[in-house]
Amino acid sequence: MPKWLNDAVFYEIYPQSFYDSNGDGIGDINGIIQKLDYVKGLGCNAIWLNPVYDSPFMDAGYDVRDYYKVAPRYGTNEDLVRLFEAAHRKGMKILLDLVPGHTSDTHPWFQIAKRARETDLSNRYIFTKSVWDAPPEYRLMCGICERNGNYLVNYFSSQPALNYGFYEITHPEWQLPPDHPDCLRTAEAIRAVMRFWLDKGADGFRVDMADSLVKNDDEKIATARIWRSVREMLDRDYPDAVMISEWSNPQRSIVNAGFHADFYLDHQGNGYNSLFRKKIGDDNQSFFADSSHGDIEEFLADYFLGYNCSKDKGYICFITNNHDMPRATFYMTDWMIKLTHAFMMTMPGVPFIYYGDEIGMRYRTDLISKEGGFSRTGSRTPMQWSYEKNAGFSDCDEDMLYLPIDKSEGAPNVESQQNDPGSIYANLKALLALRKANPSLRNDSDLEVVYAKSHGFPFVYRRGEFTVFVNPSDNDEQVDYDMNGAEVVYVLGGYENHGSSVRICSRSFLLIKQ
């Protein structure tokens, strides 16, 4: 386990929307280099970069055309290497996004595989035996190639699935086993991509749809086997490199597949959802809701299932949001967002902050889909840096912007937030400084629940010498707890010390050291 991950705090950068250094309206790698000090100043020491590879951008770069080349709109391979070097000089790490499950249908492998003539790439993707062979349980694209067969897609129609084989073979005419030499070669091709960028200085990968490799693999047994072999390669040849999965199942991803860390994603019915995004119609039933009537037990039951089995082997990553979900501002007030940040930054695991969340950027519902974003487009708008032209994101004419700038009344920017001691930014920065200064608040330190009651408040937990109280509800809530001799380290809202009990005011957070 690379040591640096234990105090890593990540900042996710959606490159096209972060900072445009050359006035073409699209963010770029040079722009990221120029803003490294900003990211570091917030308290992050690592960056996850969404895909920067050459792509036709039918899914914002998750449709890779060339794994070995930076998309010209972001710069060159040399620029990316300069980013690695500049980050390393500042003590920061850079994770690239690895998209192993599918490519763009414009990828040269696919261009060859879809032809009638058989080649050594004919099994790189998954084709049925003829165009008349189209079992409805598979997402197939039918009748559009020269080759007599239909092909499987993972996500959008432009993203044909790479062939890692089938764990359970239901159609032996066209399904290969995972240990077929052609399937092993697919995995080898992806390992080669990883080695290429690790050799250039990347610190590892966030892995897109990590569970998607082998098909008909419900328990993900054969998929885990592939990742284990990747982990062995890292342990042997790149012991400081990490792989973090988009999976949201610590048992499978960390324990079985060997990932160093796994994202806690917003999935219907899981703990993340019940904490932050459980909206039933207009009724927000999340634990962190503006008039909370949520249930902390829903979170705990789910979280501890994953935490207990994986905590000695890897990290669960709390995310403020990502490029696939509405921003938190869609669900909560700025104040409640501050409480969620206080909670996340005092929990174990590797935290991830999505660009713009530190200033409370808004989720836009009024935008036309861009590059396959659809409902996600509203979370992908240009970073708002200042009151200057295009919010300081770019010098370009307004109509050239990748996506429009949020011009709504009171839209936040870095400048306004940095100058306001009560801002979301100031709160997050203070919390990250606390986390950094105190080993008990770091990523692998123990978590112990002190008080949690179904539909009750506050929620109280301990991290080493620290105790955290959080009460997002409308009411002040009392809990038996002797605060004698405690040092109050961080407060949002208020509390009263009643000797043998503590009263945590409505919508408040308290961190004490004792």
> Rule CB under 5 A: which residues touch Ca ion?
20, 22, 24, 26, 28
CB 453 → ligand GLC: shortest distance, Å? 35
> What count of other Cβ atoms lies within 10 Å of the Cβ of residue 100?
26
Residue 62's binding partner among ligand GLC, Ca ion, none (Cβ under 5 to 8 angstroms by kind) is: ligand GLC
Using the minimum distance from each CB to ligand GLC, give the nearer residue, 160 or 458.
Answer: 160
**Three-state SS at 388:** coil
Q: Say if CB 321 and CB 262 are below 8 A apart.
A: no
Q: How far is the CB of 151 from ligand GLC (least distance, A)?
A: 16
The residues near 378 (Cβ < 8 Å, ≥ 6 apart) are 326, 327, 363, 364, 365, 366, 367
Q: Are 183 and 217 in contact (CB under 8 A)?
A: no
How far lies 331's CA from each of 223, 272, 291, 455, in Å?
Answer: 35, 14, 12, 19
* Beta carbon nearer to Ca ion, 28 or 477: 28
In the complex, which residue's CB is closest to ligand GLC? 62
Helix (H) or strand (E) holding 464: none
State which residue has the least CB distance to Ca ion. Answer: 28
Does residue number 155 form part of the binding site for ligand GLC (CB under 6 A)? yes
Rounded CA-CA distance 87/197 in Å is: 15
Q: In terms of CB distance, is 11 or 495 closer to ligand GLC? A: 11
- In whole angstroms, what is the distance from residue 261 CA to residue 317 CA? 7
- Smallest gap, in angstroms, from Cβ of residue 61 to Ca ion? 14
Sheet containing 315-317: give its strands across: 315-317, 261-263, 242-245, 204-207, 93-98, 46-49, 10-13, 352-354
Draw the binding track, 210-249, toward ligand GLC (x: CB under 6 A; -: no contact): ------------------------------------x---
Judged by beta carbon distances under 5 to 8 A according to partner kind, the member of ligand GLC, Ca ion, none in contact with residue 107 is: none
To the nearest whole angstrom, how small is the minimum distance from the Cβ of residue 144 to ligand GLC? 20
Please state, in angstroms and as integers, the Cα–Cα distance from residue 122 to each residue in 48, 63, 185, following that order: 33, 20, 12
Question: CA–CA separation, 15 vs 26, rounded Å?
Answer: 8
Nearer to ligand GLC, 102 or 124 (CB): 102
Residue closer to ligand GLC, measured from CB, 256 or 322: 322
Are the C-beta atoms of 343 and 460 separated by less than 8 Å?
no
Instruction: Check binding of 182 to ligand GLC (CB under 6 A).
Output: no
To the nearest whole angstrom, how small is the minimum distance from the Cβ of residue 278 to ligand GLC? Answer: 21
155 binds, among ligand GLC, Ca ion, none (CB under 5 to 8 A by kind): ligand GLC
Among 13, 187, 209, 441, binds ligand GLC (CB under 6 A): 209
d(CA 206, CA 248): 13
Report in angstroms how near the CB of residue 30 gets to ligand GLC at its nearest: 24
Contact status: 266 vs ligand GLC (CB under 6 A): no
59 contributes a contact to ligand GLC by CB under 6 A: yes
By CB under 6 A, residue 324 contacts ligand GLC:
yes
Q: Of these, 105, 208, 295, 477, which contacts ligand GLC (CB under 6 A)?
A: 208
Task: Indicate which single residue of 62, 127, 205, 363 sits in contact with ligand GLC (rule: CB under 6 A).
Answer: 62
Q: How far is the CB of 102 from ligand GLC (least distance, A)?
A: 7
Q: Which are the contacts of 53, defined by CB distance < 8 A and separation ≥ 6?
A: 61, 64, 65, 66, 67, 68, 69, 70, 71, 99
Enumerate binding residues for ligand GLC (CB under 6 A). Answer: 59, 62, 99, 155, 208-209, 246, 323-324
